[in-house]
Copies of this chain bind each other. A is one copy, B any other.
């Protein structure tokens, strides 16, 4: 059986290009004892993957040039020589960027009965939803009724952040990159205020939605957003540092916020985190989020590309604002 995979052809410099990727066809072996053959239904592209394309020491090893990329994927077991995994069932794996694979169960998570379309398990019910949940509730210690600002609010993580904060009775302000995304945030997702960051008046917009300032800033963007947020924080405010998409393609070091010293007098806490350190919250997250999605309290949107050959384009689209909600590549 053949499967197509996406290989890192070169390390991107600056904004990634489709030529930095290569589609390769491989022949899959038959699953031996204890192995399964899984056909991926959909795969995830996420901003953090840009960091792994750089050759540097980080919390995960860099991708190797010439190697098949990896990432979140939802697949169906097509053939099983495994005692636990049944043919036809859905599994979540970290073996994305490929149409199918043969593996032992290591790293496969059984999804059981799906409570939503499979792709939701890449987004609101998957890593991005869990990132929002852990970042807001544990990293930022969000309390009922506080004011929250989230950047990249129309993305997979940001849109979950805003809606969870609303469920917790908070005032929610979000930034996004287009008028249509801003409309989506306030009209579809219930944000109290949203704005297009392109005019550059970030502080003014934030204070418009949170006139007394912000208790919690959930940072997906870094750069000017982080600097502006620091100017809008209330005493003892918390900043959950989740991502810095504004600088992932930078080719030189980017200066940090020139007002970080505000943190001293205001008693601010900036805390960086990666979701994999919060697995102790996973069951609670799945329970809560499944219920919120079922009740319609949390809505989600996806931007979809079809076919493994479109995966590079989908990935690049993360940095040009092509997605509203989760960026998903359909493989079935």
Given A241-B263, A267-B274, A267-B277, residue A256 in contact with residue B255 (CB < 8 A): yes
Chain B nearest Cβ from A188, distance in angstroms: 29
Q: Tell me the chain A residues, 203-261 only, with Cβ under 8 Å from chain B.
A: 222, 226-227, 235, 241-244, 247, 253-261
Chain B nearest Cβ from A269, distance in angstroms: 5
From A248, which residue of chain B is reached at the shortest CB distance?
B261
From A269, which residue of chain B is reached at the shortest CB distance?
B271
- B residues within 8 A CB of A259? 253, 256
Contact of A274 among B256, B258, B264 (CB under 8 A): B264
A261 vs B244: C-alpha distance when bound (angstroms): 7
A267 vs B261: C-alpha distance when bound (angstroms): 20
Contact A264 B260 (CB under 8 A): no
- B residues within 8 A CB of A264? 241-244, 272-274
Does chain B have a CB within 8 A of A69? no
Chain B nearest Cβ from A268, distance in angstroms: 5
Contact of A256 among B58, B243, B247, B256 (CB under 8 A): B256
Does chain B have a CB within 8 A of A265? yes
- B residues within 8 A CB of A58? 265
A10 vs B6: C-alpha distance when bound (angstroms): 65
Contact B273 A270 (CB under 8 A): no
- B residues within 8 A CB of A235? 59
Total interface residues on A, using CB and 8 Å? 35
Chain B nearest Cβ from A248, distance in angstroms: 9
Given A255-B256, A256-B256, A257-B256, residue A272 in contact with residue B277 (CB < 8 A): no
Q: Tell me the chain A residues, 100-124 only, with Cβ under 8 Å from chain B.
A: none
Chain B nearest Cβ from A166, distance in angstroms: 25
Does chain B have a CB within 8 A of A294? no
Contact B256 A260 (CB under 8 A): yes
A242 vs B263: C-alpha distance when bound (angstroms): 9
Does chain B have a CB within 8 A of A143? no
- B residues within 8 A CB of A273? 264, 267
Does chain B have a CB within 8 A of A266? yes
- B residues within 8 A CB of A269? 269-272
A273 vs B237: C-alpha distance when bound (angstroms): 11
From A247, which residue of chain B is reached at the shortest CB distance?
B261
- B residues within 8 A CB of A260? 222, 226, 241, 256-257, 260
Q: Tell me the chain A residues, 260-295 only, with Cβ under 8 Å from chain B.
A: 260-274, 277
Contact A271 B265 (CB under 8 A): no
- B residues within 8 A CB of A258? 253-256
Contact A265 B256 (CB under 8 A): no
Contact of A263 among B254, B257, B265, B272 (CB under 8 A): B272
From A222, which residue of chain B is reached at the shortest CB distance?
B261
Contact B256 A266 (CB under 8 A): no
- B residues within 8 A CB of A222? 260-261
Taking A243-B264, A269-B272 as given, write out 6 further A-B residue pairs in contact, using a Cβ cutoff of 8 Å, ordered by the A residue number.
Answer: A222-B260, A222-B261, A256-B258, A263-B271, A267-B271, A267-B274
Q: Which 5 residue pairs spanning A and B have beta carbons closest together? A: A256-B256, A263-B272, A255-B255, A253-B258, A59-B265
